[in-house]
């Protein structure tokens, strides 16, 4: 095997943030014409390292070499001038502008007159060269998420990027879109580009990457491992530092009574547009119904209607025999209905209040926490101490403000609060989003425990792996409608992917 | 080319230890005094430090004064000639009691991120209602405790209603409370002016309701001076206890009660509050009502101390309340101390010319304290960096 020259090399990178050493003497290099995956848990320092390479941050110590020349980047412009461009998880596009207009955004040229048709021509040519088909005159908001990502890639190619850093590019895509993206990436490396692929999805890493470098706690734990011949569990061990179980054991149990029923439920979203259209579902005790779908297809609105945060415009929902509407006594039902919201920091917790105070958010109106008009401080502390231990929440004290916790630990606080009273119905909206494999594993096990003890669970997820390993039944949601429902056993991942993209299931 | 240089970095603090709040408040006051010193100089004071000493002496007295007072108290004699004894402290407490109440009014609202800057207007309405009860509703022969309690109740109710108006508008129609409370201040000023200056309540051309019946005024320490001569001339009244009790009650509500928990959750994350089933609308109206009630009580307290309502009823207590609330970092108990210090500042600067100095110093203090807020969230670090070669020109 011939050694290809390095597209870039980072040597001894150290980056310190207050309280954390994000990168500790990291060496990282990528060859010309390879996909190099950068793997690691959340907070392992992947994004920091790549932000340094892309000129967003400057390293405290260490050097960057491009084509064996030492360089120093003061801004992303410097990086792109050396052919290094980064595509962030959240796209940096102007929605009301066209594709071509977005291409020239932030460029020094043209200085005065903007010849858009010339740029459109260039975009079209680039698109053909790399198989990135997109209409240069389309406005960004008209495009699907997958197309927007193509625009981001084109933008970097337009600027002459030879090295493309992609931060979790598949997080927002359907399985089909992921396949298309991978085809493009393979095309690009054939034409001499290099790609750094940041991810914590092991399947994807194994399938797309040539080599893998693993970061843990800011240090490289494995460098330049060939992806071929490496298994998922080997990578997971390198990433987490221990064995990880991927499959949760799914006991066969007979579902019990119907806990949740919705009948042709409709609701609007925040912008007043229809978000739910005639959603009819049923969940029984001891059953996990998973809603598969790309984010923004009405899943959040469904969870909100069922938990009283949004009112339905028509249709009905029942919890056992109780209708879930504006007249419901939510305080009474609340004990039996748990909700793990999509956004744990912005909705699920109160950042400046202590962990102990966050743990009573749903039960401060009831004894033993409530004592007349006052709050029983001793009961609050007792409750917190017990839950911190039971749910393995890593925190210095129960008085620590919630905002100091990591994502995984914060999610444990929310889970502890929501599930410790053994709810009959659990609505989990993206419960593992953004968490690392270790945390995901424990959350999956917890959900399964509650199913086994007889809770009805509505699991909303974009991760098909998660859905397949947990669900008893799968319903696919597209533009506010249930476009298909099937038992998880024997379900075809390809077909679900098509339904997520709006192709109706054949009857 | 390698060269070693230093750069100053401002970093986010991960922890906010309790001492930082105290340090930044004190630092704020010290810095404000320094800045104020320059302004005093510019205003013609040749010796700013001397001026500050004078302000302190006027506001709090000197240790010698206090000693003389204690000696006279123990010996049951008059305050010796040339000594101020407890005079300055008494005046300061009189000033501190209304501003403590308006500060508490601001604290409870600010805790929920409701920017009530209408405590001034709510205080005016409280003063107006208390006066109505004292002069026009109850006979002058009413017992003093009954009369004062009725006045307090009237003041609280008037402030509550006047505060609940912007609360209601905010809760129902999402109208910005900053604008409504500010505008309602001017309505309250004019309302009062109508009654006292031109309208039905003024006696002749005096722009005043005339002296309140004795029962409608706070008892003062000086009333005991025939038995304890050193108390002669001290105007301090029980109003300050009203403020202290209110502060303790408010601290209990905030930190120990279910309602206070709701207020803190809403103030910190309204979305989480909704998620937890806490009613935002109800709490907005309730908290604005309580805020107004506290300001209204400040109004009652002030008229009962002045013993009349006239056209010169002072504006601005509500705004001083904003400053104190912020200096006390929205802690009701800390507000007691800060209000006392501010009372001293107001009394101490009364004799200084030009008269604007006191409010100017207050303004400077708030400005600097808000500036030192930076210390709360960030820290400044000087670090060595290794500079690598300069970046080449970017050219696409």
> pLDDT of B179-216, one tens digit each?
999 999 999 999 999 998 887 888 877 788 888 888 99
Condensed to tens digits (0 to 9), the pLDDT of residues A99-132 reads 888 888 777 666 667 778 888 888 899 888 888 8
CB nearest B391 (choices: A72, A349, A377): A72
Cβ B70 vs Cβ B76: under 8 Å: no
Which chain B residues are within 8 Å of A160, Cβ to Cβ?
Answer: 396
For B392, the closest chain A residue by CA position comes to: A78
Q: What is the CATH number of the domain that holds B182?
A: 1.10.3470
Residue B187 in domain? yes
Condensed to tens digits (0 to 9), the pLDDT of residues A430-444 reads 888 777 777 888 889
Residue A171 in domain? yes
DSSP A358-425: HTTTTTTTSTTTEETTEE-HHHHHHHHHHHHHHTT---S-TTSBGGGS-HHHHHHHHHHHHHTT--SE
Measured between CA atoms, how close is A374 to chain B, in angstroms? 4
**Angle at CA of residue B20, ends B19 and B22, nearest 5°:** 65
Residue A344 in domain? no
Q: What is the pLDDT of residue A252?
A: 82
Which chain A residues are within 8 Å of B390, Cβ to Cβ?
Answer: 72
Check residues B389 and A202 and name the one with the higher pLDDT: A202
DSSP designation for A202: H
Condensed to tens digits (0 to 9), the pLDDT of residues B31-78 reads 888 888 887 787 777 788 888 888 888 889 889 889 998 988 888 888
Give the pLDDT band of residue A369 (cuts 50, 70, 90): confident
Q: What is the pLDDT of residue B12?
A: 63
Q: What is the pLDDT of residue B392?
A: 42
CB proximity A351 to B under 8 Å = yes
Q: Report the 3 state secondary structure along chain B.
A: CCEEEEEEEEEECCCCCHHHHHHHHHHHHHHHHHHHHHHHHHCCCCCHHHHHHHHHHHHHCCHHHHHHHHHHHHHCCCCCCCCCCCHHHHHHHHHHHHHHHHHHHHHHHHHCCCCCCCHHHHHHHHHHHHHHHHHHHCCCCCCHHHHHHHHHHHHHHHHHHHHHHHHHHHHHHCCCHHHHHHHHHHHHHHHHHHHHHHCCCCCCCCCECCCCCHHHCCCCHHHHCCCCHHHCCCCCCCHHHHHHHHHHHHHHHHHHEHHHHHHHHHHHCHHHHHHCCCCHHHHHHHHHHHHHHHHHHHHHHHHHHHCCCECCCCCCHHHHHHHHHHHCCCCHHHHHHHHHHHHHHHHHCCCCCCCCHHHHHHHHHHHHHHHHHHHHHEEEEEEEEEECCCCCCCCC
Condensed to tens digits (0 to 9), the pLDDT of residues A55-114 reads 888 888 899 999 888 988 888 888 988 999 998 877 888 888 888 888 887 776 666 677
CB proximity A141 to B under 8 Å = no
Domain range spanning residue A112? Answer: 6-240
CB nearest A373 (choices: B257, B271, B396): B257
Residue A342 in domain? no
Cβ A422 vs Cβ A452: under 8 Å: no
Question: Given an 8 Å threshold on Cβ–Cβ distance, is A72 in contact with B261?
Answer: no
Residue A405 in domain? yes
CB proximity A65 to B under 8 Å = no
Residues 105-124, chain A, touching B (beta carbon < 8 A): 107-109
Residue B51 in domain? no
Measured between CA atoms, how close is B234 to chain A, in angstroms? 40
Name the residue among B261, A376, A372 with its Cα closest to residue A384: A376
DSSP lists the bridge partners of residue A501 as: none
CB proximity A63 to B under 8 Å = yes
Question: Given an 8 Å threshold on Cβ–Cβ distance, is A375 in contact with B11?
Answer: no
Question: Given an 8 Å threshold on Cβ–Cβ distance, is B272 in contact with A70?
Answer: no
Q: What is the pLDDT of residue B43?
A: 74
pTM confidence score: 0.77
Q: What is the pLDDT of residue A364?
A: 87
- Positive or negative, the Cα torsion across B334, B337, B339, B341? negative
CB proximity A321 to B under 8 Å = no
For A345, the closest chain B residue by CA position comes to: B272
The CA distance from A228 to A482, in Å, is: 39
How many CB pairs below 8 A link A and B?
A: 98
User: Which one of A400, A420, A440 terminates a domain?
Assistant: A420
DSSP A456-499: EEEEEES-HHHHHHH-SEEEEEETTEEEEEEESTT--HHHHHHH
Span B214-229, average pLDDT: 87
Q: What is the pLDDT of residue B348?
A: 86
Give the whole-number percent of chain B exceeding pLDDT 90.
46
Q: What is the pLDDT of residue A507?
A: 40
Same-domain check for residues A437 and A472: yes
User: Which one of A364, A398, A420 terminates a domain?
Assistant: A420
Residue B380 in domain? no
Give the pLDDT band of residue A504 (cuts 50, 70, 90): low
Same-domain check for residues A455 and A394: no
Domain range spanning residue B97? Answer: 93-353
CB proximity A77 to B under 8 Å = yes
The CA distance from A201 to A39, in Å, is: 8
Q: What is the pLDDT of residue A433?
A: 79
CB proximity A310 to B under 8 Å = no
Report whether pLDDT(B224) > 80. yes
Q: For an interface test with A, which of B264, B379, B390, B391 has the most A Cβ atoms less than 10 Å from its Cβ?
A: B391
For A55, the closest chain B residue by CA position comes to: B391
**Highest-confidence range of A348-352, A502-506, B178-182, B353-357, by mean pLDDT?**
B178-182
Give the whole-number percent of chain A exceeding pLDDT 70.
94
Same-domain check for residues A164 and A114: yes
- Positive or negative, the Cα torsion across A45, A51, A53, A57? negative
For A374, the closest chain B residue by CA position comes to: B257
Number of domains present in the structure of chain A: 3
Measured between CA atoms, how close is A59 to chain B, in angstroms? 10
Number of domains present in the structure of chain B: 1
Measured between CA atoms, how close is B390 to chain A, in angstroms? 7
Give the pLDDT band of residue A2 (cuts 50, 70, 90): low
User: Which one of A420, A435, A462 terminates a domain?
Assistant: A420
Q: What is the pLDDT of residue B387?
A: 45
Q: What is the CATH number of the domain that holds A62?
A: 3.40.50.300
Residue A503 in domain? yes
Residue A440 in domain? yes
For A83, the closest chain B residue by CA position comes to: B396
CB nearest A18 (choices: B11, B386, B391): B11
Measured between CA atoms, how close is A149 to chain B, in angstroms? 22
Same-domain check for residues A371 and A251: no
Same-domain check for residues A150 and A164: yes
Residue A263 in domain? yes
Give the pLDDT band of residue B381 (cuts 50, 70, 90): low
For A344, the closest chain B residue by CA position comes to: B272
Measured between CA atoms, how close is A501 to chain B, in angstroms? 31
Same-domain check for residues A124 and A256: no
User: Please, is B149 exposed, middle or buried when counting C-beta atoms within 10 Å of its C-beta (0-12, 13-18, 19+)?
Assistant: exposed
Residue B43 in domain? no
Residue B216 in domain? yes
Same-domain check for residues A256 and A234: no
Residue B302 in domain? yes
CB proximity A404 to B under 8 Å = yes
CB nearest B257 (choices: A73, A107, A374): A374
Residue A343 in domain? no
Among A83-92, A364-373, B25-34, B260-269, which stretch is predicted with the lowest mean pLDDT? B25-34
Span A244-264, average pLDDT: 81
Which chain A residues are within 8 Å of B391, Cβ to Cβ?
Answer: 71-74, 78
Same-domain check for residues A380 and A453: no
A 10 A CB-CB count for A447 gives 24
Question: Given an 8 Å threshold on Cβ–Cβ distance, is A373 in contact with B259?
Answer: yes
Same-domain check for residues A199 and A220: yes
Question: Given an 8 Å threshold on Cβ–Cβ distance, is A357 in contact with B392?
Answer: no
**Angle at CA of residue A500, ends A497 and A501, nearest 5°:** 90
Same-domain check for residues A176 and A227: yes
Q: Which two tokens stand for residue A188?
A: 């690009």
Q: What is the pLDDT of residue A16?
A: 84
CB nearest B264 (choices: A353, A362, A374): A353
């Amino acid at each position: 095997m011939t050694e290809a020259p390095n597209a870039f090399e980072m040597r001894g990178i150290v980056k310190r943030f207050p309280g954390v050493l994000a990168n500790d003497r990291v060496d990282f290099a990528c060859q010309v014409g390879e996909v190099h995956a950068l793997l690691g848990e959340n907070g392992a320092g992947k994004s920091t390292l790549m932000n340094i390479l892309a000129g967003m941050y400057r390293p405290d110590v260490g050097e960057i070499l491009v084509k064996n020349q030492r360089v120093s980047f003061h801004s992303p412009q410097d990086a792109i001038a050396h052919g290094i461009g980064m595509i962030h998880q959240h796209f940096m596009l102007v929605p009301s502008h066209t594709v071509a207009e977005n291409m020239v955004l932030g460029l020094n040229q043209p200085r005065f007159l903007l010849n858009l048709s010339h740029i459109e021509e260039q975009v079209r040519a680039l698109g053909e060269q790399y198989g990135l088909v997109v209409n240069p005159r389309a406005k960004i908001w008209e495009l699907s998420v997958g197309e927007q990502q193509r625009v981001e890639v084109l933008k970097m190619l337009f600027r002459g990027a030879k090295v493309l850093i992609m931060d979790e590019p598949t997080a927002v895509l359907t399985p089909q879109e992921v396949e298309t993206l991978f085809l493009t990436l393979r095309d690009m490396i054939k034409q001499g580009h290099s790609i750094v692929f940041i991810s914590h999805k092991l399947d994807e890493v194994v399938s797309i990457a040539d080599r893998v470098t693993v970061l843990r706690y800011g240090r490289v734990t494995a460098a330049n491992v060939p992806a071929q011949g490496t298994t998922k569990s080997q990578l997971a061990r390198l990433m987490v530092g221990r064995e990880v179980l991927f499959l949760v054991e799914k006991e066969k149990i007979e579902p019990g009574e119907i806990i949740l029923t919705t009948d042709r439920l409709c609701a609007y979203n925040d912008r007043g547009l229809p978000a739910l259209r005639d959603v009819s579902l049923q969940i029984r005790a001891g059953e996990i119904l998973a809603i598969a779908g790309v984010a923004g297809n009405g899943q959040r609105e469904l969870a909100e209607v069922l938990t009283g945060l949004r009112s339905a415009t028509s249709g009905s929902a029942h919890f056992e025999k109780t209708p879930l509407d504006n007249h419901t006594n939510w305080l009474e039902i609340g004990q039996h209905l748990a909700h793990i919201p999509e956004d744990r920091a912005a909705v699920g917790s109160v950042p400046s209040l202590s962990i102990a105070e966050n743990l009573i958010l749903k039960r401060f109106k009831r004894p033993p926490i409530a004592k007349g008009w006052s709050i029983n401080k001793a009961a609050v502390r007792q409750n917190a101490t017990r839950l911190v231990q039971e749910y393995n929440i890593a925190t210095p004290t129960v008085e620590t403000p919630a905002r100091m916790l990591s994502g995984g630990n914060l999610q444990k606080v929310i889970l502890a609060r929501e599930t410790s009273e053994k709810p009959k119905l659990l609505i989990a909206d993206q419960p593992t989003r953004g968490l690392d494999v270790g945390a995901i594993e424990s959350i999956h096990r917890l959900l399964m425990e509650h199913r086994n003890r007889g809770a009805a669970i509505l699991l909303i997820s974009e991760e098909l792996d998660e859905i397949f390993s947990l669900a008893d039944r799968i319903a696919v949601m597209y533009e506010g409608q249930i476009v298909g429902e099937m038992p998880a056993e024997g379900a075809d991942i390809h077909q679900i992917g098509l339904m997520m993209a709006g192709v109706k299931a054949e009857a | 080319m390698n060269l070693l240089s230093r750069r100053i970095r401002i970093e986010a603090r991960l922890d906010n230890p309790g001492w930082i709040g105290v340090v930044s408040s004190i630092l704020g006051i010290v810095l404000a005094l320094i800045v104020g010193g320059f302004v005093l100089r510019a205003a013609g004071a040749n010796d700013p430090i001397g001026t500050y000493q004078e302000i302190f002496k006027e506001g709090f007295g000197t240790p010698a004064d206090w000693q003389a007072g204690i000696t006279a108290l123990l010996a049951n004699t008059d305050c010796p000639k040339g000594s101020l004894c407890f005079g300055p402290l008494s005046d300061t407490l009189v000033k501190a009691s209304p501003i403590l109440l308006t500060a508490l009014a601001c604290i409870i609202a600010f805790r929920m991120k409701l920017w009530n800057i209408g405590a001034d207007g709510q205080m005016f309405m409280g003063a107006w209602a208390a006066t109505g009860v004292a002069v026009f509703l109850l006979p002058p022969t009413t017992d003093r405790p009954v009369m004062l309690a009725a006045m307090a109740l009237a003041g609280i109710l008037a402030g509550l209603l006047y505060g609940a108006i912007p609360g209601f508008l905010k809760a129902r129609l999402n109208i910005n409370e900053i604008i409504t409370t500010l505008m309602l201040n001017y309505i309250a000023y004019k309302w009062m002016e109508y009654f006292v200056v031109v309208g039905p309540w003024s006696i002749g051309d005096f722009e005043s309701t005339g002296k309140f019946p004795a029962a409608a005024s706070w008892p003062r320490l000086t009333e005991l001076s025939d038995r304890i001569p050193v108390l002669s001339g001290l105007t301090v009244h029980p109003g300050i206890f009203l403020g202290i009790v209110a502060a303790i009650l408010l601290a209990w509500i905030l930190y120990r009660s279910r309602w206070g928990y709701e207020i803190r959750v809403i103030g910190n994350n309204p979305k989480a509050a909704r998620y937890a089933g806490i009613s935002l609308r109800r709490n907005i109206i309730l908290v604005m009502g309580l805020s107004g009630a506290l300001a209204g009580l400040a109004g009652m307290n002030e008229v009962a101390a002045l013993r009349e309502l006239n056209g010169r009823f002072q504006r601005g207590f509500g705004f001083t309340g904003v400053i104190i609330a912020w200096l006390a970092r929205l802690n009701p108990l800390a507000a007691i101390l800060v209000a006392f210090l501010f009372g001293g500042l107001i009394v101490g600067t009364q004799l200084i010319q030009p008269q604007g100095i006191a409010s100017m110093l207050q303004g400077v203090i708030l400005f600097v304290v808000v500036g030192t807020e930076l210390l709360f969230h960030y820290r400044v670090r000087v670090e060595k960096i290794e500079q690598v070669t300069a970046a080449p020109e970017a050219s696409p």
